[in-house]
Structure 1
Amino acid sequence: MVLKSPKLIINKLVLVGREKSYTVNFDVGINIIHGDSDTGKSSILNLIDYLLGSKKIYMYDEIEQHGKYAMLEVSLNDKVYTIKRNIFDPKENIDVFSSNIENMNRVFPLEYSPDYDKEGPAGYFSDFLLSSLNIPIIKVKQSPSKDNSPMVRLSFRDIFKYCYFDQDDVGSREILDRKNPSLVVKNKETFKFIHNVLDTQITELQNEIGEKNREKKELINKYTVISSFLLETKLSTEESLRDKRESLEEKIKYLENEKNNLTERMKSDNQEMEELREVVLELEEKINNRLSQKSHKETQLEQNIRLKKEYQNDINKLQTSLKVKNSLALQHSQKVECPLCNSILETVEIKKHFVEHNEDVLKKEINSIRNRSKDLSNLIEQLRDEILIIENRLSDEREKLSKAKSTLDISSEKYISPYISQRDMIVSELYTFKEQIDKIEYFLKIRAQLSEIKQKEELLKKQIGELQTKLENLKKQTPSIEETLYEIGTYLKEFLEYIPIKKAFGISLSDKTHLPIVRDRNYTELTSGGLRTLVSLGYITSLLKNSLFRETNYPSLIMIDTVGKYLGKTKKNADEVDESKENKQEGLDDPKKYLRIYKYLDEFSSNFIKKGVAHQIILVDNDFPDDLEIDYDQYVVKRFSVEEKEGYEIGFINNATANNI
């Protein structure tokens, strides 16, 4: 069975952090993420949505603390791309690499604007996704009932809201912007476009074919110009460049081994030198210690000499005091000669300014200071002798050090110099080869860009052919909105009968809102949260199922957050769940209904996989019954627990100290 609708498959999500990267790998078919609350399950879907162009991201504490940027590897109609986006600035351009994550550094990225406010260097991100999925880029009337209504772009985001129900959408009365009248109108036009029943679809399809033909012509011209330039510059072919790179990589590997072997030989051959180095280091350490001792002794010597001079000054002052006292001791007033300045002084006047001191006390103090000065002189001589001894030893050790260094230099020249010379040559060659590889990598990127242009031209040819086939089919048998609503309503009825719900009658899609009707009541009028949950799950699953059977513009992906919202899951904790009276009347506290959801999705997905129809279903839920854990373990891509548990991670950010996601 050939897939008629666009195919969007998520291969890998990577949140690159400051300490490590956080990765989730996905498969075709069902993918289940489950675990305790506050472990980051919803953030995984939120990041995927953001990397597919959402204007906002819920910046949980752990992501803000540990994250840097995010990448999403996707397959768009079987062609692999890597989308890279700044998680801290939603307005920054989005990088798209035409390769998987492992090889993204081998190609030049294209920069797309995240919204239609300002065009990026490569255009708009929404247009890139639509074009890659071969979905026509169109405008729809803001008010379809008015002939003069302004036209607004229909973006990938308008389509994707029918593919992703977050935990606020599942079971919500306000599903698909029911509170916003202008968006409700646009959603109806989007629904028609998804299912090829828009009134202007044929005209828009013709315009899209013309636009792709113009783009193909531009690519052919661009390819011709670039290939002519490469031919004139005689740039090697891609095969030749790859051969050169492979040859250089082998040489680098060989030289790296030689360098390592050389290092090992240097280590084994210089044992004698190591002993000499130890002798040199020991002598240098001794000399440093001697110098430190010498410096300390010289400081002591300087301090003691200064102190001895102070003692001598004190003795001189005391002796002067004795002379003055003897002169002043005369009984009669007379003129005397000053012992200091030789001037003539009146003794009577002088006595007024001096305090009388005992002559014996002064003499004793002089003797005491002389004794201390004498001891100090002995200490000074001792310090001089010690400094002389240190200097002699320093001289001997310096001479030994000089001889040891000389011997070491000779040994180095004998043992090490040849190795150093060889090593320098190897390092130089390695640097040259690595430079050449960098240039080759750059040229390969240019070649890859040229190859990408050619591949894009071929892709456009294929897309134009598919669009022309679609146009012919639309002209022959354009499906009516009534037929489309009937088919999807039939799939919804099958789902609700399979669960089953009580009173499964009056099930269809509204021709006014295109939302479900159950028991002849509009979705928004259903009072049971559990019933609305089942209906919303059945609705999004039916949209996917219809796209896998028919030619639509609906990507082959659905993402559902909190599958078991409002539903009883296990008999063990059913009484703990706060359910409304209506839920109990509906019998939705029966855990079997919850199990039947997974059984339906498993059978539904397996049947299409067997037919070769690729699609993807990503489910997030909280506690997971043991029966499901066993039966659907093959589909589980991540499981989280706040407690350490074998086979579980503590959260998406699994190195955080606390999980508040």
Structure 2
Amino acid sequence: MKSISPLLLINKLVLVGHDEKEYSVPFNPGVNIIYGDSDTGKSSILNLIDYLLGSKKVYMYEEIEKNGKYALLEVNLNGSVYTIKRDIFKPEELIEVYSTSIENMSELFPALYGPNYQKEGPAGYFSDFLLNALNIPLVKIKQAPSKMDSDLSRLSFRDIFKFNYLDQDDVGNRNILDSGNFSVFTKNKETFKFLHNLLDSQITDLQGQISEKTNEKNKLLESYNVISSFFKDTNIQTLETLSDDLAEYKQEVENINREIQSINTQMRSDNAYFNDLRNLILRLESELKLDTEAKSLKLAQLEQHVRLKKDYQQDIDKLESSLAIIKRLPEHKEEVDCPICSSKIEYTKLALNFEKNNSETVKMEIKSIKNRLKELETLIDAERRNIISIEAEENHKNENLKKARQMLDIEAKEFVSPFIAQRDELVAEKATVIEKMNKVEYLIKLRKQLNEIITKSNHLSEQIGQLTKKLDQLRAGAPSIEGVLSNIGSSLELFLKAIPIRKPFGISISKKNFLPIVRDRNYSELTSGGLRTLVSVGYILSLLQNSLNNSTNFPSIVMIDTIGKYLGKTKNGNDSIEVNTNEDILEGLDDPSKVINLYSFLTNLSEKFLEKDKLHQIIIIDNDLPVELEVMVHLQKYVVKYFNVQGKNGGSVGFIDNA
């Protein structure tokens, strides 16, 4: 079944580290749960996904910063598979996109995209690639909607994805979707309208998009005809013939290898030649051992620097907190109120802790530590470059060692002069065949690139058809804002009643800011952090539900980090769980059944949509699951990663599992 809204599914995330070691997480359609101990890289998984979908930077925990190099994300965009590759330390570099799976990346040339609208790549902008692949129109929206002559700003994929991803700071946040920032929130409200086809200009925008895609398709077909004609004139064979040739060359190489192996078994020892090769191997092995030790030392130094960097940052945070307290000390009084417990404290005792450090002294110390932090970051970059340099040298020496061992049979293969010439002849023949193989593989890539043009043309035809259908729907009767808000509000109400919250009445979506209203109170006016958590989760799920039931521009994915924030759990002694406020206690949110009902609602909702062939994805991060949920067998099928710092119960020690 074709999705009526943009289809975005994450297939696989891979972080590639030193020595090309891979750390990966697979994902499935429907619900995906990642949970476990703190500081194991759970949030970094969603941060990496967000980064590979175009965010400005990735927020890394220490192990990723120490071990990572670049990341890969395999995604399904409206039925087409792509792999996105991005350096995690160089966010300004071009982003590579391969129109295939991670396993088949080497078979195609990548398209290079600019990471933002300030830097255009050879293939254009990454945001435009995502929007085009998802068949979301490229539009500009008013910065001041109430003004007729308002300036227009380009709508990016990042503007849209704000409605799909609740990071751990957004869940339960009073100022969700930047509602506390007027200029940013104004654009967010216009984005909300665009997502649900409520902008007055969308019919005109769709017409323009159809025209642009039609012109793009015609240009692609023109390019295809030119390139195809060139291939024909230069007698470049078809993809099928080239594939057959490649298979034949591979068979030739295998046959030559067998002949070389046969000669090796017949050779007798040429002592001088044997000794030279043996000495070369010993020397290379010794050098490689030194390189390994040097790299281990550099990695240890890098780890120390990264930890020291973390310590410096903590010192800065503490000093800035002290500076804030110094500024807020009252004028000399006999007693002051404690800001925590409201009891009385003698001013002389309170001031005694700060009198030796005036604000200027603290500021100078902060500045000093920041200077040291900057120097340390330079050292970290230098250490990382040194490690990469050593690895390159190791690879070179390993290749030479491999070649030397091939020439020298340690297991008693001996060389004699009559066989050397014959063997050299075969090696030369093998090199010739491999050169032909490389040429054929290059031509196959070119042929596949030509086929990509036809594939893109077919995708454009499908997109044009979908846009035309959407245009006809809008012309026949664009959705009303009242209808859209009613649908989303009804879904939110069903969610909150399923939990259930206390007094689930007055639930709707505000016509003014498009945010939830509960008990006839705006979202920002809700005083319970646990209640805001549930409402924010229910809101983003309701947006997903609406997109699966109606034609929208909302991608079919939501990611929620720390979904159980402020909600009660049943495990004892878990310091990572935040203490409930009085408001949360009044709401009854310390009841573990709330979390059980939350997960049950998620899984039931997802399964119902999947049964109707409505593909979507819900990725959840949580610190732990209530004991009742952990023993529920049916829930375990949704767990894609479980982390336990001690490696117990089948859990990984962390996203980076080198230990």
Comparing 116-125 with 34-43, greater Cα deviation is found at 116-125
**Alignment-mate amino acid for residue 633 of structure 1:** Q
**Alignment-mate amino acid for residue 9 of structure 2:** I
Matched residue of 2:650: which SS? Answer: coil
- Residues 265 and 624 from structure 1, CA distance in 2 versus in 1: closer, same or farther, beyond 3 angstroms? farther
Matched residue of 2:178: which SS? Answer: coil
**Alignment-mate amino acid for residue 68 of structure 1:** K
How far apart are 1:592 and its partner, in Å?
A: 0.8
2:510 aligns with 510
Mapping for residues 376-387 of structure 1, pairs under 5 Å: none
CA displacement, residues 309-340 of structure 1 (integer Å, 9 cap, x when unaligned): xxxxxxxxxxxxxxxxxxxxxxxxxxxxxxxx
Matched residue of 1:628: which SS? Answer: helix
2:252 aligns with 251
User: Whole-Å Cα distance in 2 between the matches of residues 585 and 568 of structure 1?
Assistant: 13
1:4 aligns with 4
1:136 aligns with 137
Matched residue of 1:13: which SS? Answer: strand
- Residues 484 and 276 from structure 1, CA distance in 2 versus in 1: closer, same or farther, beyond 3 angstroms? closer
1:416 aligns with 416
1:159 aligns with 160
1:25 aligns with 26
- Residues 498 and 276 from structure 1, CA distance in 2 versus in 1: closer, same or farther, beyond 3 angstroms? closer
How far apart are 1:573 and its partner, in Å?
A: 5.3
Matched residue of 1:102: which SS? Answer: helix
- Residues 645 and 261 from structure 1, CA distance in 2 versus in 1: closer, same or farther, beyond 3 angstroms? farther
1:147 aligns with 148
2:547 aligns with 547
Matched residue of 1:103: which SS? Answer: helix
2:630 aligns with 629
User: Whole-Å Cα distance in 2 between the matches of residues 487 and 556 of structure 1?
Assistant: 17
CA displacement, residues 459-480 of structure 1 (integer Å, 9 cap, x when unaligned): 1111101100110011102001
User: Whole-Å Cα distance in 1 between the matches of residues 461 and 209 of structure 2?
Assistant: 13
Mapping for residues 63-74 of structure 1, pairs under 5 Å: 63-74=64-75
How far apart are 1:646 and its partner, in Å?
A: 4.2
User: Whole-Å Cα distance in 2 between the matches of residues 501 and 231 of structure 1?
Assistant: 69
Q: Is contact 1:11-1:73 (8 Å) kept?
A: yes
Mapping for residues 190-589 of structure 1, pairs under 5 Å: 190-266=191-267, 416-570=416-570, 572=572, 577-589=578-590
User: Whole-Å Cα distance in 1 between the matches of residues 35 and 115 of structure 2?
Assistant: 30
- Residues 574 and 439 from structure 1, CA distance in 2 versus in 1: closer, same or farther, beyond 3 angstroms? closer
**Alignment-mate amino acid for residue 213 of structure 1:** T
1:644 aligns with 647
User: Whole-Å Cα distance in 2 between the matches of residues 582 and 121 of structure 1?
Assistant: 54
1:659 aligns with none
**Alignment-mate amino acid for residue 508 of structure 1:** S
- Residues 415 and 510 from structure 1, CA distance in 2 versus in 1: closer, same or farther, beyond 3 angstroms? closer
CA displacement, residues 565-609 of structure 1 (integer Å, 9 cap, x when unaligned): 000111645997511001011110011110111111110111111
How far apart are 1:58 and its partner, in Å?
A: 1.1
**Alignment-mate amino acid for residue 241 of structure 1:** L
Comparing 117-126 with 463-472, greater Cα deviation is found at 117-126
Provide the identity percentage: 56
1:59 aligns with 60
User: Whole-Å Cα distance in 2 between the matches of residues 492 and 512 of structure 1?
Assistant: 17
How far apart are 1:626 and its partner, in Å?
A: 3.5
How far apart are 1:78 and its partner, in Å?
A: 0.7
How far apart are 1:275 and its partner, in Å?
A: 13
CA displacement, residues 334-392 of structure 1 (integer Å, 9 cap, x when unaligned): xxxxxxxxxxxxxxxxxxxxxxxxxxxxxxxxxxxxxxxxxxxxxxxxxxxxxxxxxxx
How far apart are 1:147 and its partner, in Å?
A: 0.4
How far apart are 1:434 and its partner, in Å?
A: 1.3
**Alignment-mate amino acid for residue 538 of structure 2:** G
- Residues 32 and 262 from structure 1, CA distance in 2 versus in 1: closer, same or farther, beyond 3 angstroms? farther
How far apart are 1:91 and its partner, in Å?
A: 1.1
2:654 pairs with 1:655: no
Comparing 44-53 with 419-428, greater Cα deviation is found at 419-428
User: Whole-Å Cα distance in 2 between the matches of residues 264 and 498 of structure 1?
Assistant: 75
Q: Is contact 1:74-1:81 (8 Å) kept?
A: yes
How far apart are 1:613 and its partner, in Å?
A: 1.2
2:396 aligns with none
**Alignment-mate amino acid for residue 528 of structure 1:** S
CA displacement, residues 592-650 of structure 1 (integer Å, 9 cap, x when unaligned): 11011111111011111111111111111112233323431111111111113241111
Q: Is contact 1:13-1:23 (8 Å) kept?
A: yes
User: Whole-Å Cα distance in 1 between the matches of residues 512 and 34 of structure 2?
Assistant: 35
How far apart are 1:24 and its partner, in Å?
A: 0.9
User: Whole-Å Cα distance in 2 between the matches of residues 137 and 507 of structure 1?
Assistant: 34
- Residues 276 and 482 from structure 1, CA distance in 2 versus in 1: closer, same or farther, beyond 3 angstroms? closer
User: Whole-Å Cα distance in 1 between the matches of residues 108 and 418 of structure 2?
Assistant: 43
- Residues 582 and 276 from structure 1, CA distance in 2 versus in 1: closer, same or farther, beyond 3 angstroms? closer
Q: Is contact 1:82-1:104 (8 Å) kept?
A: yes
How far apart are 1:179 and its partner, in Å?
A: 2.0
User: Whole-Å Cα distance in 2 between the matches of residues 553 and 82 of structure 1?
Assistant: 22
How far apart are 1:59 and its partner, in Å?
A: 3.4
User: Whole-Å Cα distance in 2 between the matches of residues 426 and 574 of structure 1?
Assistant: 67
User: Whole-Å Cα distance in 2 between the matches of residues 613 and 190 of structure 1?
Assistant: 24
How far apart are 1:208 and its partner, in Å?
A: 0.5
2:38 aligns with 37
How far apart are 1:145 and its partner, in Å?
A: 0.2
Q: Is contact 1:255-1:426 (8 Å) kept?
A: yes
- Residues 56 and 276 from structure 1, CA distance in 2 versus in 1: closer, same or farther, beyond 3 angstroms? closer
What is the TM-score when the length of structure 2 is the normalising length? 0.76
- Residues 452 and 524 from structure 1, CA distance in 2 versus in 1: closer, same or farther, beyond 3 angstroms? same
Q: Is contact 1:571-1:591 (8 Å) kept?
A: no
How far apart are 1:55 and its partner, in Å?
A: 1.0
User: Whole-Å Cα distance in 2 between the matches of residues 253 and 513 of structure 1?
Assistant: 68
Q: Is contact 2:49-2:73 (8 Å) kept?
A: yes
User: Whole-Å Cα distance in 2 between the matches of residues 225 and 645 of structure 1?
Assistant: 61
**Alignment-mate amino acid for residue 100 of structure 2:** S
User: Whole-Å Cα distance in 1 between the matches of residues 517 and 266 of structure 2?
Assistant: 82
User: Whole-Å Cα distance in 2 between the matches of residues 255 and 616 of structure 1?
Assistant: 50
Q: How many residues align?
A: 519
CA displacement, residues 536-557 of structure 1 (integer Å, 9 cap, x when unaligned): 1100111111111111101111
CA displacement, residues 377-419 of structure 1 (integer Å, 9 cap, x when unaligned): xxxxxxxxxxxxxxxxxxxxxxxxxxxxxxxxxxx9x972233
Q: Is contact 2:503-2:519 (8 Å) kept?
A: yes
1:105 aligns with 106
Comparing 256-265 with 486-495, greater Cα deviation is found at 256-265
Q: Is contact 1:30-1:616 (8 Å) kept?
A: yes
User: Whole-Å Cα distance in 2 between the matches of residues 240 and 541 of structure 1?
Assistant: 51
2:89 pairs with 1:88: yes
Gaps of 5+ in 2: 279-411
User: Whole-Å Cα distance in 2 between the matches of residues 13 and 547 of structure 1?
Assistant: 25
Q: Is contact 1:574-1:589 (8 Å) kept?
A: no
Q: Is contact 2:565-2:578 (8 Å) kept?
A: no
**Alignment-mate amino acid for residue 638 of structure 2:** Y
Q: Tell me the C-alpha RMSD between the 2 structures.
A: 2.1
Q: Is contact 1:568-1:574 (8 Å) kept?
A: no
Q: Is contact 1:70-1:86 (8 Å) kept?
A: yes
User: Whole-Å Cα distance in 1 between the matches of residues 254 and 418 of structure 2?
Assistant: 22
